[in-house]
Chain A
Amino acid sequence: MKFNSVTIKNFRNFEDISIDLTNKNVLFGMNDVGKTNFLYALRYVFDKDIRKQNFFNTDYYKKKIDISIEIVVAIDISDTENEDSQKLRAKLKGAILSDQDIVYIKVKADYDEKEMIGVPVLYWGGDLEDLEEMKVHGTFFEIDYVFNMIYIDAYVDLYTLFKKNASKLLVNDKDQDKDILDNIRMTCDELNAQISGLSGIRAFEEKIAPEYKKYRHDDISVSVKSEIAVKGLYSNIVPYIKQGTDDSLYPTSGEGRKKLLVYAIFDLLSQEEEEKKINIFLIEEPENHLHRSMQIALSHILFLDDKYQYLFMTTHSPYVLAEMDQVNLVRIYNEDKVVSRSVLYTVPTKFKSQRKMLNRGLVEAIFADKVLLVEGSSENVLFGKVLSEINPFYEADGIYILPVGGFGFKPYYETLDALQIDNIIKTDNDLRKIKDKEEYSVLGFSRLNNYIGEKILPDTPISESGVEAKRKLYDNNREKLDEIRAEYSLYLSRCSLEEDLDEVIHDQMIMYLPNADGDPIGYLQDAKNNHMVELVEKLTAEDCKCIYEHYNFACLKEVMP
């Protein structure tokens, strides 16, 4: 079973939006673009308790109550051996025909002006144009026997959750429990007898009734009891955490611990259902209250545990996405109306073992509006410094510098392009010696051709190498390279970072790097990161301005809004 897409029409801030889905989906975007509303749309389809609330006029897009709300989820069940596909098919019956593989589940609500609500009606079937109305039994639609939606909101409270489900979580129905429960009851009675024996309690009870009677002449008396005896055993028990061999109990006070315990409880609750039903998890901003390391641990479970096979999650945290793979990234954002872009992100096979490393930059970048993709950490250090001199709040303004390292640009810009996140690439003008020949392939040019998908730059090998050869190659093709800058936001270095920088601030580099023995380029290239940090620490605002304004570093100007 695979989720295919969802279409939302005329619901809250969605006028008409279609989003491709897969089984694991992460939604992100600025606040107030409708991530929670998106989850609500799914809840109206899959959660009977939400459906029961009906739609109000404010649920209609711009209160357009003359148009119906429509939410359609498409699910592929062509994998007939899959147990979840079978769970769905067993209830669909004849609503899906032999040549159909996709089930459409639709909620439609026309607004009833007399009742002042829109009552959701459900349809399903294999032909979107000719769906069958779903059977209802009391308040249960057929679909409610198939799916079990588990919604974990950002501020879920451990104790409320525990109390609400105590009877499900704590089943004391064995024979020996009977006696113990009787004992507890007796102990409670005794406890209350003891409590009422306390002088302070008695004094309070005696004083309070006359006070009450000043307000109202009822024949009452007041007694103080332990809650457990009045509301039952389960009203008064809470989970405590015991640490290792330490015998003392800690109330589960830390919000982070509470949150993890919440997830553990949801795990237990979902286990009960998963034999018979399909569990769908809706998780809202799980990062709240969780330390970075806990977020990364949670990420591991969310993306690698079978339990969260069907997941819709909103998040603002890169750490929650640290382990992401086989996930549909959905970016929701505002243009003239709310739109979305989504992409199925799969870690390329060759990088599977370095998933966390590969993801590290990307999970930050997808939260940005504009991303500058650079070769490595030297660029990152230098450009970060220059940009913060120009605009100290550049990161808050949605700009992010992503060093691609050994992974290359491709896995990054493909994902960012699909999400329509502006990205600018700054890459080196590399040459590489061809084996057994005195020729050099123009690696930098080929790379640009490859990214553009068209042979714009000449890719015939050249006969010389070195800085001057690179400069010559660049200058001979400058017109085309300038067009490529303008049209594709691809910036080729004339040579490499260090040489290009040397063209701009050669004298300063000599001065700032006394250990370089007059060869700052060699020095910087020798121990890349450390020596670049040494230089950057000494750059003045004026130096930065200089770099920012220079042709060699025009990519910086473009990334700045």
Chain B
Amino acid sequence: MLSSIQKEIVEESGNMIVRASAGTGKTHTMVSKIVYDIEQQHTHKVVAAITFTIKAANEIKERLTIDTTSHFIGTNNSFAIEEIIKPFMKDVFGMEYKLDMSTDYSTKVNTFAEGLAKIKNEQILCSYENSKENFIFQLALDILKKSKSCQLYLQAKYFKIYVDEYQDCDKDMHALFMYICEILRIDTFVVGDEKQSIYMWRGAYPKAFMSIWDRPDFSKKFMRDNFRSCQQIQNYSNLLCNETRDLYKPVDDLSSVIIVCATADNWVSSIVPYLDDEKKCALLRYSNVNAEAGANELTGGDIEFTYVPQTPIADITTETAWLYNAVAKFFILSKYSAFDFRDEIPNEVVGNKRVLNYIKNAFSILDECIKQEDAVGFEKQIVLMANYLGYETKADHCERLYRTIYDKRYHSAFKIDDLKRIAITFHSSKGLEFEQIIMFVSDYRLSSEQDIYNHYVAVTRAKSKLIMVYINEDWNARQFAKNINKILAESNLKMSNIATVMNCLCCN
């Protein structure tokens, strides 16, 4: 089921940029478009669907109803590393770079030359000290520009490249994608929302996204109809940003957005009356520490919230990343079977019995290792299993996988859908949605563009209820109050016009 704008996006060919406000069905539309485009394509060529996180890549894979094995669906970094740097670095820099490199973003260098030396001497792909510069993408573009073979490879393989969350691209990523589009003439589809740019602190450059909006060789689409949030929540989020302010539609019932003024001691009991026990709820906080503390306080107040930490394997970006995830799912999720695992093997043939038997056998050995708390044996078996399937592992990654499975604290990360109430950082809430959202206004001072975007993202996770906690006497919260009033004044509105405000010392 597609709306008319979504249908237009799906069926139009060529370069395209889509601005998609939160909740407008962005992923659904992109997945529909990928399926449509693949069905229209009657050659060997495939697509690359590029996302920022493995989670987003998996979501696309899961939603695609077609066979995706030959297509590239993965993160920005894995695209640059697996499709350009690893295979073609030797073509440009010489055979001494034909080596097995691994990524370690904690290793920092200052110059491009230092980065090259790290690869040559230590086989490490590292990052720049200056977080606004991106070594991996600078290297990838340098290789792509100089390697005829790499250019021919990408042209021979891909008919279209899709980049999700484009507003999070930094200028080096943008340069690479535009080179692929302009020089290699591979159709490019980008989707994003400058309002949802939450990574400016590490170089994300929403201006790049908007610069595509001005290009004559891209057709432009704007998805503004939020299908997720109720009208009142939409109103609140639309009022935050200039370009959506005109979408404001006054409503009579103001019970969906509630500001609860409280103290650090009584905030739990102050919000309880507004929570619907039956519906899913998430507490979003800026830091992991606060998310965990918040979960504890809520649980202490007799509403159980589960804190969902980031797993040790979450930021692995190698070609083998799927395997770590799949093994973890096998041991953590009771419904995830060897069959499910087999179905995730990239390029594997459906119905291959030998592989299935091997997997079952490998899992029983792994299971024994976990029971015996034999980390060494476990990691050895992972190496064997990966090699059998044609993948290479890293000792550090195997160890992280063992920790992810062994330490039960991490298991909740794999069961987010099954948990009714969770506490997470708002960064990891990106792309998710919940009936009810609880957040602390002190996390958003709204004094910078980035802060407004962060707030926009957090707010638009909510479908039917948004509860904002205002802690009295908190300096950050006061900044929020000052700035939100200014923003609302742009539309000649006050908070009480658009939300239910409870216990406010100054409002009432």
Interface residues of A (CB under 8 A from B): 80, 83, 85-87, 89-90, 92-98, 100, 135-140, 145, 275-277
Contact = CB atoms under 8 A, between A and B. Distances in A.
A86 B156 contact: yes
A506 B234 CA distance: 115
A95 B347 CA distance: 19
B355 A138 contact: yes
A86 B44 contact: yes
10 contacts: A86-B45, A86-B156, A90-B45, A94-B86, A94-B153, A137-B348, A138-B348, A138-B349, A139-B352, A277-B44
A135 B386 CA distance: 13
Given A83-B43, A86-B44, A137 B390 contact: yes
B153 A92 contact: yes
Nearest to B46: A90
Contacts of A94: 86-88, 90-91, 149-150, 153
Contacts of A97: 90-91, 149
A96 B44 contact: no
A90 B348 contact: no
A86 B91 contact: no
Contacts of B91: 94, 97-98
A66 to B, nearest CB: 28
B485 interface: no
Contact of B354 (A80, A138, A277): A138
Interface string B375-405: 0000000000000011000000000000000
A90 B44 CA distance: 9
A87 B46 CA distance: 11
B202 interface: no
Interface string B75-88: 00000000100111
Contacts, number: 75
A87 B44 contact: yes
A86 B155 contact: yes
A90 B153 contact: yes
B347 A140 contact: yes
Interface of B: 42-46, 70, 83, 86-88, 90-91, 147-150, 152-153, 155-157, 345-349, 352, 354-355, 389-390
A231 B446 CA distance: 72
Given A94-B86, A94-B88, A275 B156 contact: no
Contacts of B349: 137-140
A136 B358 CA distance: 15
A136 B348 CA distance: 10
A94 B42 CA distance: 25
Tell which of A89, A94, A97, A145 has the most Cβ of chain B within 10 Å: A94
Nearest to A80: B152
A96 B354 CA distance: 32
A349 to B, nearest CB: 33
Contacts of B346: 137
Contacts of B352: 138-139
B153 A98 contact: no
B70 A145 contact: yes
Contacts of A138: 345, 348-349, 352, 354-355, 389
Tell which of B90, B148, B157, B354 has the most Cβ of chain A within 10 Å: B157
A100 B148 CA distance: 10
B347 A145 contact: yes
Tell which of B44, B46, B83, B147 has the most Cβ of chain A within 10 Å: B44
A277 B421 CA distance: 49
Nearest to A144: B349
B329 to A, nearest CB: 20
A139 B83 CA distance: 23
A87 B156 contact: yes
Contacts of B155: 80, 86
B149 A276 contact: no
A97 B143 CA distance: 12
Contact of A89 (B156, B389, B390): B156
A80 B390 CA distance: 29
A163 B304 CA distance: 61
A94 B157 CA distance: 13
Contacts of B83: 93
A170 B77 CA distance: 45
B155 to A, nearest CB: 7
A98 B389 contact: no
A93 B45 contact: no
Nearest to B91: A97
Contacts of B149: 94, 96-98, 100
A220 to B, nearest CB: 32
B44 A93 contact: no
Contacts of B43: 83, 275-276
Contacts of A92: 153
A140 B355 CA distance: 11
B361 to A, nearest CB: 15
Contacts of A139: 349, 352, 354
A545 to B, nearest CB: 67
Nearest to A130: B95
Contacts of A145: 70, 347
Contacts of A87: 44, 156
A137 B88 contact: no
Given A90-B156, A139-B349, 11 more contacts: A80-B155, A83-B44, A90-B157, A93-B153, A94-B87, A94-B153, A137-B345, A138-B348, A138-B349, A139-B352, A275-B42
B4 to A, nearest CB: 28
Contacts of A137: 345-349, 389-390
Nearest to A276: B44
A430 B86 CA distance: 70
A87 B150 CA distance: 14
A93 B87 contact: yes
Contacts of A95: 87
Contacts of A100: 149
Nearest to A90: B157
Nearest to B88: A94
Nearest to B345: A137
Nearest to A136: B390
A121 to B, nearest CB: 13
A192 B154 CA distance: 59
Contacts of B86: 94
Contacts of B153: 89-90, 92-94
B65 to A, nearest CB: 16
A140 B348 CA distance: 8
Contacts of A140: 347, 349
A224 to B, nearest CB: 34
A310 B88 CA distance: 30
Nearest to B149: A98
A98 B148 contact: yes
Contacts of B348: 137-138
A86 B156 CA distance: 5
Nearest to A134: B390
Contacts of A96: 149
A93 B349 CA distance: 21
Contacts of B345: 137-138
A561 B131 CA distance: 85
B344 to A, nearest CB: 13
Nearest to A126: B149
Contacts of A276: 43-44
Nearest to B148: A98
Nearest to B146: A98
A90 B157 CA distance: 5
Contacts of A136: 390
Contacts of A275: 42-44
A94 to B, nearest CB: 3
A98 B147 CA distance: 6
A437 B348 CA distance: 81
Contacts of B355: 138
Tell which of A98, A135, A140, A145 has the most Cβ of chain B within 10 Å: A98
Nearest to B356: A138
A512 B329 CA distance: 100
B342 to A, nearest CB: 10
A472 B42 CA distance: 73
